[in-house]
């Protein structure tokens, strides 16, 4: 491949275009927050209810759906979201040689379906038990397997394009500094277990189950051992998995995520594992990041903190695992009779969006946090997280629209994929529990002291201490939000 083709690929290939779109979104979000010149926040639904009896605390968080829909701010954000995403993805599609006249009306309809998904998933009871990813898949599947997907809508069904862009944006929120906050404990749990589980599932799928679809095998293994959907997406792209393979891996992961989210905290409480050990076990075994936070909160604030940190440290592995999978598949799996696959072929196969993910994470960690503080970086991530979610909603809805149950049944390979996940997840739970006990039981290593004061509790305590010793300032306590604590520490040092 000559230099001219390499240069052209930077602006013609989906992998590179997803990087540039992600970079543009990050740049716009950062500029909006740091300068205050404009509002870049995307559309999001507040929690609403259809008439459930709620506690006073829960009722205070609810905003009636009619009130949201009648707000000019709501429709302003809706217009901003569709214009930003439609314009960026539209330009990307055009650069790939597609016709905008076909993409734009299809994208608008896909966005309408995505809005319905977000609206449904914001309902109080549904939001409490199921993530929006489930509803995106479900609504897409219902359309695809009942009335069918019209041909004019198909130009907007670009699952990987949306996913890759979302992952680049997501990279900005995965700060390498999170490793220091839980130290070697988190590293041992998240990084020590994950590679072993992947290798075990690869061996089990090949030698015992005899699964012939290698991209599907490694995609399910990554989804099980790392973080579900995001890992499945990255590894699926690195291994050349088909859309049907990705749909199978994500569907199985979501089904068991729901079950584990409900029952794992109950079992942990029953055996009396405690918040720190229980939270670490949840963070290392439940696939979805959102489900991890929710399941951890059931056990208590300490468990929520530990579970979130373990999962975030584990998320850092996404790019590295995809990198090694791309090399492994290029050299060992997809050789096509060749004795060796050269570096140029590996680079050609390597999913370039992973570079965007890693670079975004490094930039956030070593440039934005030191320069603007953790609090400002967190505010940027809050805005970027909205666009990341929209990219994923578009992707999950596209997966549902592009999935046929008959084809899905064939991809399950007679139930082998289901057995792969069950055996792999069981092994994951056992090994994670062993490492958690080793590091966090207090029998061998001292248990870390996790601070979980909320902002309100911190202010109350500070006032009490000030009233007792008015001549001296009250010492700053760590808050439940580790990022906020880091920012507070920086301010004190200044």
- Give tens-digit pLDDT for 193-234: 888 999 999 999 999 988 888 888 898 998 888 877 777 877
Whether residue 343 is found in the same domain as residue 412: yes
Q: What is the rounded average pLDDT of the residues 55-66? A: 84
Residues 35 and 133 in one domain: yes
Q: What is the mean pLDDT of residues 414-420?
A: 84
CA distances from 345 to 328, 331, 348 (A): 12, 9, 5
Look at phi and psi of residue 458 and say left if phi exceeds 0, alpha if psi is from -120 to 50, else beta. Answer: alpha
Q: How far apart are the first and last CA of the chain?
A: 53
User: What distance in Å separates the CA atoms of residue 394 and residue 375, rounded to the nearest whole number?
Assistant: 29
Residue 227: inside a domain: yes
- pLDDT, averaged across the chain: 79
Q: Cβ atoms within 10 A of the Cβ of 225, count? A: 30
Q: What is the pLDDT of residue 474?
A: 43
User: Which of 228-232, 266-270, 294-298 has the highest mean predicted lDDT (pLDDT)?
Assistant: 266-270
Tell me what pLDDT residue 263 has.
85
pLDDT at position 387: 95
The mean pLDDT of 233-251, rounded to a whole number, is: 79
Most confident among 158-162, 305-309, 467-471 (mean pLDDT): 158-162
One domain, residues 147 and 123: yes
- Residue 197 is encoded by which pair of tokens? 């589980």
At residue 339, the pLDDT reads 40
Taking 50 as the threshold, does the pLDDT of residue 287 lie above it? Answer: yes
Calpha distance 393→168 (Å, rounded) = 15
pLDDT of residue 308: 75
Is 52 a domain residue?
yes
Where is average pLDDT lowest: 59-73, 148-162, 256-270?
A: 256-270
Does residue 472 register a pLDDT over 50?
Answer: no
Taking residues 304-308, report their average pLDDT: 77
Residues 223 and 137 in one domain: no
The predicted pLDDT at position 246 comes to: 81
pTM over 0.75: no
Condensed to tens digits (0 to 9), the pLDDT of residues 313-331 reads: 777 777 778 878 888 887 7
Residue 267 has pLDDT above 80, yes or no: yes
Q: How far is CA 490 from CA 281, 284, 373, 379, 476, in A?
A: 31, 30, 8, 16, 12
Characterise 273 by phi-psi region: left (phi > 0), alpha (psi -120 to 50), beta (else): alpha
Residue 393 resides in a domain: no
Say if CB 284 and CB 303 are below 8 A apart. no
pLDDT band at 466 (very low <50, low <70, confident <90, very high): low
Average pLDDT over residues 67-71: 93
Does position 277 have pLDDT exceeding 60, yes or no?
A: yes
Within-domain flag for 385: no
Q: Are 414 and 366 contained in the same domain? A: yes
pLDDT(396) > 90: no
Q: Which of 106, 375, 90, 140 is nearest to 247 (CA)?
A: 140
Residue 239 and residue 145 share a domain = no
Q: How far apart are CA 167 and CA 234, in angstroms?
A: 8
pLDDT confidence of residue 494: 39
Q: What is the pLDDT of residues 70-120, one digit of tens each?
A: 999 999 999 999 999 999 999 999 999 899 999 999 999 999 999 999 999
What is the pLDDT at residue 448?
A: 65
Quick one: average pLDDT of 464-480? 46
Greater pLDDT, 416 or 103: 103
- pLDDT band for position 486 (50/70/90)? very low
Q: Which residues contact 85 (CB under 8 A, 6 or more apart)?
A: 111, 387, 390, 391, 394
pLDDT in tens, 130-183: 667 778 878 888 898 888 889 999 999 998 799 889 878 888 876 655 555 566
pLDDT above 90 for 4: no
382, part of any domain = no
Q: Which among 327, 284, 296 is positioned nearest to 195, based on CA atoms?
A: 284
Domain carrying residue 124: 3-164
Same domain, 216 and 115: no
Does 366 lie in the same domain as 229?
Answer: yes
pLDDT at 145: 85
Counting the structural domains of the chain, the total is 3
How confident is the model over 394-406, as a mean pLDDT?
A: 80
Name the pLDDT band for 68 (thresholds 50, 70, 90). very high
pLDDT band, very low/low/confident/very high, at 25 (cuts 50, 70, 90): very high
Give CA–CA dist 156/431, Å, rounded: 42
331-378: per-residue pLDDT in tens? 777 655 444 445 565 566 566 777 888 788 889 888 998 899 888 988
By mean pLDDT, which of 151-160, 386-395, 396-405 is the weakest?
A: 396-405
Mean pLDDT over 1-12 rounds to 65
Residue 448 inside a domain? The answer is no
Q: Among 164, 187, 208, which residue terminates a domain?
A: 164
Shared domain check, 120 and 81: yes
Q: What residue spans of 122-213 are helical by DSSP H?
A: 124-129, 132-145, 159-171, 178-186, 192-203
- pLDDT at position 99 is 92
Please identify, among 143, 164, 185, the residue that sits at the C-terminal boundary of a domain: 164
Q: Are the CB atoms for 164 and 237 separated by under 8 Å?
A: yes
Query: Is 384 part of any domain?
Result: no
264-267 LR contacts (CB < 8 Å, sep 24+): 264/295, 265/295, 265/296, 265/298, 265/299
Do both 70 and 181 map to the same domain? no
Residues 156 and 224 in one domain: no
Instruction: Examine the domain organization and report whether 281 and 364 are in the same domain.
Output: yes
Instruction: Return d(Cα 264, Cα 428) in angstroms, integer.
Output: 13
Q: What is the pLDDT of residue 413?
A: 61
Lowest mean pLDDT among 46-50, 128-132, 281-285: 128-132
Calculate what percentage of the chain has a pLDDT beyond 90.
Answer: 29
Q: Coil, strand, or helix at residue 384?
A: helix
Average pLDDT over every residue of 52-69: 85
Query: How confident is residue 29, by pLDDT bands cut at 50, 70 and 90?
Result: very high
Domain boundary among 109, 140, 164: 164
Note whether residue 388 is domain-resident: no
């Amino acid at each position: 491949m000559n230099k001219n083709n390499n240069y052209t690929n930077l602006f013609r290939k989906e992998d590179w275009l997803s990087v540039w779109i992600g970079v543009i979104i990050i740049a716009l979000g950062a500029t909006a927050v740091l300068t205050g010149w404009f509002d870049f926040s995307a559309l999001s639904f507040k929690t609403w209810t259809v008439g459930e009896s709620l506690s006073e605390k829960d009722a205070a968080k609810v905003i009636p759906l009619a009130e949201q829909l009648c707000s000019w701010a709501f429709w302003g954000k809706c217009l901003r979201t569709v214009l930003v995403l439609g314009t960026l993805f539209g330009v990307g599609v055009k650069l790939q040689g597609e016709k905008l006249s076909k993409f734009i009306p299809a994208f608008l309809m896909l966005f309408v379906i995505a809005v319905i998904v977000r609206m449904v998933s914001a309902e109080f009871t549904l939001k409490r038990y199921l993530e929006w990813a489930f509803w995106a898949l479900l609504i897409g599947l219902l359309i695809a397997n009942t009335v069918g997907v019209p041909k004019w809508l198909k130009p907007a069904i670009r699952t990987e394009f949306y996913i890759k862009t979302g992952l680049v944006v997501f990279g900005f929120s995965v700060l390498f500094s999170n490793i220091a906050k839980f130290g070697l404990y988190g590293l041992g749990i998240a990084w020590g277990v994950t590679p072993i589980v992947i290798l075990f599932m690869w061996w089990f799928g090949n030698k015992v189950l005899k699964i012939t679809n290698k991209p599907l095998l490694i995609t399910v293994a990554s989804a099980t051992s790392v973080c579900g959907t995001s890992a499945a997406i990255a590894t699926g792209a690195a291994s050349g998995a088909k859309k049907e393979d990705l749909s199978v891996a994500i569907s199985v992961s979501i089904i068991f995520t729901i079950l584990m989210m409900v029952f794992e905290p109950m079992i942990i409480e029953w055996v009396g594992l405690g918040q720190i050990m229980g939270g670490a076990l949840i963070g290392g075994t439940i696939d979805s990041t959102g489900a991890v936070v929710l399941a951890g909160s059931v056990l208590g604030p300490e468990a929520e903190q530990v579970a979130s940190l373990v999962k975030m440290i584990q998320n850092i592995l996404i790019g590295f695992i995809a990198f090694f999978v791309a090399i492994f598949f290029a050299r060992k799996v997809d050789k096509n009779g060749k004795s060796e696959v050269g570096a140029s072929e590996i680079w050609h196969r390597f999913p370039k969006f992973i570079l965007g993910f890693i670079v975004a994470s490094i930039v956030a960690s070593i440039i934005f946090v030191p320069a603007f503080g953790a609090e400002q970086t967190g505010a940027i991530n809050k805005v970027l997280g909205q666009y990341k979610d929209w990219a994923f909603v578009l992707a999950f809805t596209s997966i549902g629209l592009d999935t046929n149950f008959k084809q899905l049944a064939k991809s399950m390979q007679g139930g082998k994929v289901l057995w792969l996940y069950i055996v792999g997840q069981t092994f994951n739970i056992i090994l994670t529990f062993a490492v958690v006990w080793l590091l966090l039981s207090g029998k061998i290593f001292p248990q870390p002291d996790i601070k979980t004061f909320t902002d309100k509790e911190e202010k109350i305590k500070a006032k009490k201490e000030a009233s007792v010793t008015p001549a001296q300032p009250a010492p700053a306590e760590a808050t439940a939000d580790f990022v906020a604590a880091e920012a507070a520490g920086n301010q004190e040092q200044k």
